[in-house]
Each structure stands twice: as C-alpha cells, then as structure tokens.
Amino acid sequence: MRNRPSSAAGLRAQLHALPKVDLHRHLEGSLRLQTLAEIAQEHGIDLPSYDIEYLRRFATVTGEEPDFHLFLEKFAFLRRFYPTPAAVERVAYEAVADAAADNVKYLELRFNPVALSRQQHFPLDQVVDWVCASVAQAQRDYDIETALILQIDRSGSVEMGDRIADIAIAKQSQGIVGLDLAGDEVGYPAHRFADVFQKAREAGLGVTVHAGEAGGAENVREAIELLGASRIGHGVRSIENSDVVQLVRQRGVTLEVCPTSNLQTAVVRRFWQHPLPDLLALNLRVTINTDDPSVSDTTLTDEYMTAMLAMGVTLEQIKHTIMTGIAGAFQPPEVRKRLARWFQKELGLA
C-alpha cells in the first residue's frame, strides 16, 4: 500500500491530519457521555446512576450482538437528554466541536426536530432555530464549515413529514440544505413520502434517503426513482442487484457509507466482508462517514483506519472519497468549486 506508514500509530496520525468531509453524521448520535451525565444531574433525570460508565451501556454499542433494532434503541435512551433549550444548544455545539477536533473541515449534520422536542413538547420550529444558532456559533469558534439536514422518521405520519419539510424550506437561510428520510426501512416503505420530497427538491433542498442498509437494493431504487434522492444513506446493499448498481452509477448518486455502523447493525458480519472496496472498484460515488460517533464510539479517523487496515482501501482511495464528498455536498456549484479547490490543495491533489 503506497504512502502507508510502517506503524498503526503513524497511520493514525497521518489520517487524523487529513482534512475530512462527513456527509452522514446524526446530531442525536453525537452526544458526549460527560454531557449526558451533567445534563442528567442538573435536571434530575431519573437514572439509577450518573456514572459515565453506567451511561455508556445505554448510549453506546459496547459489545452487544450486532442488531439493527438494538442499535436504534440507543436513540430512545438518548432522547431523554433534551430537557431545555440550553441542552439542545449544547449538544449541537459540541457535535460540531468534536467533528472539528477530528479535522473534519466540511460537515453536514442531520437531526430530527421531533426527537429533540418530544420530551418537553418544544415547538419544532424553535428547536430548529436553537440548533441552527448553536451550529453557527460553533462554526465561528472552530475551523469548520457546517450545513444542516432535517430528518423525517419513516415510522411517522406523512403529515409530520410534510411539516418538517416546510420548516426545512423556510429556514434555508439559516443553514438548512437538505432533507433526509431515516428509521426502519424494512417496516416502513419510503414511497409514502414521495410528494413531501418532491416539494423539498422543488424548493432547492438536497435529498438523501437511508436505504440499502437493513433493507435490500430495491429500497435504493425506490429512494432514487420515487423520492429523487441524489444521495443514499449507507446504500451498501446496492451491490446485491446489478441493475441498481447501474442506476446509482448512471444517476451519479452518492453513497454515504458508514463502516462501523454497518457492522454494529449487522449489515455486514465482518469488516473484511464489507462491500466498500467493491463499491469503489465499480466506480460508484462513495463517501466514508461516521453515522453516530458516540453511539458507535468512533471518529472519521477511525473509519479511515478501518477501511485501510481491515478492507485494504488505499490512501489514494481515501482521498478520492473525500473529494467525492465535496462533489456530493448539498451546496451551490460555486461553493462546491471553492471547497474542491481548497481540498485538492490540502490533499496534495492539485
């Protein structure tokens, strides 16, 4: 492997130093355990213990048998930690700060305003305002460019999805750039939300859809053809159907691949079985992302390490996925061009 340091520590340092792009990171999966403990104590959240290691077993995947629904259950626990506007603002700010600490230079952070508001019945538009303001402040404090994506839960009503889309459309000037559909893709098909996503696209929002993760390749086809997705969250099971692979390639759809998450949700059983190298070999638009840093106990540097050491991905391919991330960013062409020039220079590709 060319340009690979002789030690794991050397490789980690090299990968940490790379300017990174993360297109698929959930705010609700990015909470610091220390912050959880402090919020719980301050607001009297009823827990048997405020010890960080105790909280870890509920908030982080810690050796459980890989399972998609067990992974999602972590978020039911995490939704207890948004008791005040200040708590929402804090976790949003820290999510951006933590990405910056990993040398992520362009971040698209997604969140479900319903999840952040449910515990205290906050107005959805106010929750979005709090996150937008806090993320804007974090951008000023750290050397990172961040955009936001609002997320719709597949298991929710179409009416709620439409409401979230309207909020996203109305708040584009505050940094909202896209709309996402997430949740249980096996039990809740995406086609119910086709009109919602059409409205979002017509208003200028980017569309990304979780598909081809717990569900098969046909879900990727549905996301592209019926919802107009230009990006697919995960999408790794596209490889199971050659027609879907062709569709992804022909439409120039970007796949937001999250290796550690895919292992923990049992999409793959071993890292060496992950289709990332094959997706790259098929010349698809592939990016590498974290998904949920705190739930998965990972960083983007960790994901790059895993890709290289466990899957045989090269440093040149890692850099290629970073540039693919910029090409797939939900930004106007002139912004993507500016970012591409900067990243090409910093990655030594110019």
Question: For residue 29, is it within any domain?
Answer: yes
pLDDT at 1 (0 to 100): 42
What gap in Å lies between CA 168 and CA 162, rounded to an integer?
10
CB 225 within 8 A of CB 197: no
> What amino acid positions are annotated as catalytic residues?
213
Tokens of 150: 């609002």
Q: What is this structure's pTM? A: 0.95
**Number of domains composing the chain:** 1
Question: For residue 267, is it within any domain?
Answer: yes
Question: For residue 1, is it within any domain?
Answer: no
Q: Domain holding 269: CATH number?
A: 3.20.20.140
Domain range for residue 97?
8-346
C-alpha to C-alpha distances, 279 to 20, 149, 266, nearest whole angstrom = 20, 25, 18
C-alpha to C-alpha distances, 286 to 3, 102, 163, 269, 318, nearest whole angstrom = 21, 20, 31, 20, 10
Q: What is the 8-class DSSP label of residue 236?
A: G
Plot region of 337 (φ>0 → left; ψ -120 to 50 → alpha; else → beta): alpha
C-alpha to C-alpha distances, 169 to 20, 148, 155, 197, 205, nearest whole angstrom = 27, 12, 22, 11, 7
Tokens of 146: 């961040």
Question: For residue 3, is it within any domain?
Answer: no
Question: For residue 206, is it within any domain?
Answer: yes
Name residues whose C-beta falls within 8 Å of residue 102's C-beta, 6 or more positions apart in sequence. Answer: 16, 20, 299, 300, 301
10 Å Cβ neighbour count for 346?
14
Tokens of 45: 């959240």
Q: What is the mean pLDDT of each run of 10 residues along the chain (350 residues)?
A: 67 97 96 89 82 82 76 79 92 98 98 90 96 98 97 96 98 98 92 98 98 95 98 97 98 98 92 96 98 94 97 97 98 98 94
Question: For residue 168, is it within any domain?
Answer: yes
Q: What is the DSSP string of 54-119?
A: HHHHHHS--SPPP-HHHHHHHHHHHGGG--SHHHHHHHHHHHHHHHHHTTEEEEEEEE-HHHHHTT
**Counting Cβ atoms within 10 Å, is residue 303 exposed (0-12), middle (13-18) or buried (19+)?**
buried
What gap in Å lies between CA 30 and CA 99, rounded to an integer?
9
pLDDT at 338 (0 to 100): 98
Question: For residue 83, is it within any domain?
Answer: yes
> What pairs with residue 9 in β-bridges?
none
pLDDT at 139 (0 to 100): 96
Question: For residue 164, is it within any domain?
Answer: yes
